[in-house]
Amino acid sequence: MYNITEDSIILFLYVLTGIVSVIGNGFVLRIILRDRKRRFATATYALIANMALSDLIAGVVIFAQFGFCSKASLDSNTFMEFMCMLVKVTQIVSYFVSTYSMAAIAYERLIVTKSPFAPGTNPKWYIAISWIVGLAYIAICVFDVRVSEFFTPNVLISCRVLFQIDSLKKSPMRTVRAVLLMVFQFIVPLAITGVMYTWLVIKLRQKRIVGEPTDEKIARKERSNRNLTIMLMFTVIAFAVSWIPVHVWHFVMFFQIKLSGGECNSPITYSLFYWFAVSSCAWNPFIYCWRGTKFRGALLQMVPWHKGTEENSEMT
């Protein structure tokens, strides 16, 4: 029996996630871009900005789906089906950009830890690769693509498979896509990131065993690098925790239950798992403000009463 309360909760969670993602990642981008030539001039912060941009896009896509992927829009004409599909593939690209930016950040942190005062690397290639990988994947997502369908007469959230090709209904195409998504959007970047951060932890522990450097400038630089690395490790943990449930579900549905090409997998359990994966676009700003002193300081400067306290302290 259909339960409208369940769909209402899922819709509320999506709206809340979209709002938090847009505001939070917009704040991160604003802070980095405003001071990118001084406090946020490193390649790491450029990659954080790239990840924030992709997460902001993922947040905007949540609201775009409500319009382009509603039943009224999908039933109107083929162009609206195309727009819904475009929104969906944009969401997928944003996931790839976010995860490969995360892997690139881990590699960049390893380089910085080994040589704290070496010239910074150019992040443009990392950023370009993160977008190219995502765009390459969506080449196989423009047909037989599953989308969420909103606001039908009977249910708030359903699903629809767009641009179905009869000859592919019994083909393993959706299974192949699920495997590729799991491997290249989750397993590969998470493995790369995990190896990099494991190596980083070993390097940091070795430095602690040797002892703190006597030069205060070097000590301050290494403390800053260590704190930034810990902050970024929390973003990896948040990413892994958010995406594991939905990938496990995909594995069960496509390899154990053998979901066919024209079917949808949209029970409440899957809807919750999928929302939890999508919500990964909203966690990072909280982690930055919790663990990152630069972001926390920038946030406090935006609070009116904190500004007043700073001005009074400066006057005295």
Residue by residue, pLDDT tens for the chain (316 residues) are 666 888 899 999 999 999 999 999 999 999 888 877 766 778 888 999 999 999 999 999 999 999 999 999 999 988 999 999 999 999 999 999 999 999 999 888 888 777 666 666 788 889 999 999 999 888 877 777 888 889 988 888 888 888 877 665 555 666 777 788 888 989 999 999 988 888 888 877 766 544 554 566 566 666 777 778 888 889 999 999 999 999 888 877 766 555 544 455 567 888 899 999 999 999 999 999 888 888 888 877 776 655 544 444 333 3
Q: Which residues make beta-bridge pairs with 70?
A: 150
* Cα 232 from Cα 254, distance rounded (Å): 33
Q: What is the dihedral of CA 28, 34, 38, 40, to 10 degrees?
A: 20
Count the Cβ atoms, other than its own, within 10 Å of residue 241. Answer: 12
Residue 141: partners with Cβ closer than 8 Å, 6 or more residues away: 88, 89, 92, 177
Domains for the chain: give ranges and CATH numbers.
Answer: 4-307 (1.20.1070.10)
Write out the two tokens for 290: 């919790």
Residue 62: partners with Cβ closer than 8 Å, 6 or more residues away: 14, 15, 17, 18, 21, 278
Alpha-carbon 175 to chain mean position: 23
The Cα-based distances of 17 to 37, 222, 235, 276, 280 in angstroms read 31, 35, 17, 9, 9
Residue 125: partners with Cβ closer than 8 Å, 6 or more residues away: none
Amino acid at position 273, single letter: F
Write out the two tokens for 231: 């902050």
> What are all long-range contacts of 264-268, with beta carbons under 8 Å and residues at least 24 apart?
264/146, 264/158, 264/159, 264/160, 264/161, 265/146, 265/159, 266/148, 266/157, 266/158, 266/159, 268/3, 268/6, 268/10
Reported pTM:
0.85
Q: Element (H or E) spanning 74, and its range?
A: helix 71-76
